[in-house]
Amino acid sequence: MTQNIQIYNTLSRTKQKFEPLNPPFVGMYVCGPTVYGDPHLGHARPAITFDLIFRYLLHLGYKVRYVRNITDVGHLENDADQGEDKIAKKARLQQLEPMEVAQYYTNRYHEAMRSLNVLPPSIEPKASGHIIEQIEMVHKIIHAGFAYIANGSVYFDVKKYNQSHQYGKLSGRILDDLYANTRQLDGQNEKQNPYDFALWKKAAPEHIMRWKAPWSIGFPGWHLECSAMSAKYLGTHFDIHGGGMDLLFPHHESEIAQSVAANHIDPCKYWVHNNMITINGQKMGKSLNNFINLDAFFTGKHPLLTQAYSAMTIRFFILQAHYRGTLDFSNEALQAAEKALKRLLTAHNTLLKVAPAQQTDAELQTFITTFTTKCYDAMNDDFNSPILIANLFDSTRYINLLNENKLTITQPDLQRFTTTFKNFMFQILGITNQTTTEDTQTTQGLMNLILSIRQQAKQNKDFATSDKIRLELQKLSITIKDTKEGPSWSLD
């Protein structure tokens, strides 16, 4: 916990020293999914980004309360849909109860997160379970004079708020510009100004998800749930608020306005935003037909994919880029990531087999003394996972040299080396080693038998047999390697 973490704050557009409000406690809120469709690539990036931050803070010994919500209150698809929301629409199309839809896709989301080895958050509140808190917050905002009621709906008065506060300080927007660019929606609107946003919306007759409030039977505005739930579980002023860069405006901007209006304080100290994902250089969107569900990656069943990619490959690929940069998905890039990951995992298995010696070579000694520090430095610099991964790759060279007995290492140094490697690779980056069957006794016995038969064949120069064994095993995803110490095998 003595680490000096620099964290990029969207609010200041600079890296700042991370100083929790109440150490060792850290409160972190991240906007979760709206559960009306299968989880896709767009869900993976923020989940993995904040999983990395969560894991690192935990590793350093912070007591982190990580809150990530589930949006199961439908919000309007667009004006033309006459008040029908996404979840309700799905429910109508599939003839299901809206909550059935929400639960189904919540489960799907959880399954995907588990595959990606994303740790569950400390609290995962649902918007539908916090209607009371949201109504209370609307009361507070009305009481503070920053909201008005129109025909059963309640709107946030952005113009008034902006007179005493700065609406746009997070996204860099200026209210006059917003006005100039949004006036085309004037007319039948209940809003006093086009940039006002709903806190509570009166439900149209066909709107299924509805709750009773003093103003009308209706549903909460979509910025409100995050403000209400973060305040409930993390307090009115907490450490980190995260989410995708696409949420910067209007969602997060409005969260600040609501919280300041209701609680008289900015909701959080650090705003952290992950950048977006593109596919083959194009934006990902349903209309462009390049919208890839996570399941499609795992099975390879999508026109844009030439093969299946494991969840760990996806995770590793995302971590190979810094979270604030855009990330482009392509088959070529994913295949590179797949091989790179395999190389690291192989190196780890090799490291576990290294036998200690009387002394550590000078070159290796130098490396080991700086290795741990360099890994921490990478993470401390705004969670720079690409640099961390580069450091791990630097270490593989030494691992392989140790394996070939070209270098030696003492037991304490080996212990240090292994601990650092494991901590950063598995605990912090959250990579898992999927080859579990490798260790079962039966498999091990069978493989020893097969390999001894193959060695016999090789000694008899019966290469037809030895090659056949290797080829057939390859079909079962088992790779044979002939090393100086004899044959070895691994499960791909």
* Of 322, 407, 328, the residue nearest 362 (C-alpha): 407
Contact code string over 273-312 relative to RNA, x by CB under 7 A: --xx-x--xxxxx---------------------------
- The single-letter code of the amino acid at 154 is V
Span of 102-110, 165-173, 262-270, 293-301 interacting with RNA by CB under 7 A: 165-173
Instruction: Kindly write down the DSSP assignment for every residue of 200-246, as one continuous string.
Output: EEEPPTT--S-EE-SS-EEEE-TTHHHHHHHHHHH-SSEEEEEEEGG
* Element at 100 (helix H, strand E): helix 98-115
Q: Which of 20, 27, 39, 42 binds RNA (CB under 7 A)?
A: 42
Examine residue 250 and say whether the peptide bond preceding it is cis (omega within 30 degrees of 0): yes
Span of 107-115, 138-146, 173-181, 416-424 interacting with RNA by CB under 7 A: 173-181
200-219 binders of RNA (CB under 7 A): 201
Query: Is residue 33 close enough to count as binding RNA by CB under 7 A?
Result: yes
Query: Is residue 242 close enough to count as binding RNA by CB under 7 A?
Result: no
How near is the Cβ of 227 to RNA at its closest, in Å? 11
How near is the Cβ of 23 to RNA at its closest, in Å? 26
Span of 129-137, 306-314, 339-347, 352-360 interacting with RNA by CB under 7 A: 339-347
Q: Decide: 372 and 420 in contact? Cβ < 8 Å.
A: yes
* Element at 445 (helix H, strand E): helix 441-459
CA distance 152 to 203: 9
Q: Which of 12, 97, 107, 185 binds RNA (CB under 7 A)?
A: 185
49-88 binders of RNA (CB under 7 A): 71, 75-79, 81, 85-86
Pull the structure tokens for residue 171. Answer: 């996204």
- Our CB check for RNA shows the closer of 293 and 320 to be 320
Q: Decide: 47 and 118 in contact? Cβ < 8 Å.
A: yes
- Our CB check for RNA shows the closer of 25 and 124 to be 124
How near is the Cβ of 5 to RNA at its closest, in Å? 14
Q: Which of 328, 363, 472, 485 binds RNA (CB under 7 A)?
A: 328
363-382 binders of RNA (CB under 7 A): 381-382
Count CB atoms within 10 A of the CB of residue 82.
Answer: 12
- Our CB check for RNA shows the closer of 81 and 136 to be 81
Pairing label, strands 197-202, 217-220: antiparallel
